[in-house]
Amino acid sequence: MAKILVLHGPNLNLLGKREPEVYGYLTLADINQKLQERARQVGLELDAKQSNEEGTLVTSIQQAEEAYSFIILNAAAYTHYSIAIRDAIAAVSVPVIEVHLSNVHAREEFRHQSVISPVVMGQVAGFGLDSYMGALEIAIRKLQAENKI
């Protein structure tokens, strides 16, 4: 069975409380539940993890090799400066889709640069929950095209 790893970066554990005008009122548990429901509909296994620690995210990416078919990653603030996460993505063969709840390109200047974008399959940003769901749908279609689900 194909497996997808969803990684949530720093402060995403505060969703629903943290700046709801930017990130909305859904909690991280709500997002994970919606992703799980959709994954089950198509026979996918989905694991979701959140960490505020850069090293934990790097280790999770490294350990995804041969264990997962896709990674959906919201690296949050690490998106803009973590060379360690960028290098971990480049080191594995698992395709990664970068996700952001908000439109990072319409926000503060420092959020416009993603150091991970050059090594991911693509980016979905600005659609709240639908950014995650869109990334999952892309992964599903790619896996279906490869007859993995």
Known catalytic residues are 23, 100
Contact 115, 76 (CB under 8 A): no
Beta pairing class for 70-74 and 3-8? parallel
Q: Is 146 left (phi over 0), alpha (psi -120 to 50) or beta?
A: alpha
CB count within 10 Å of CB 25 equals 11
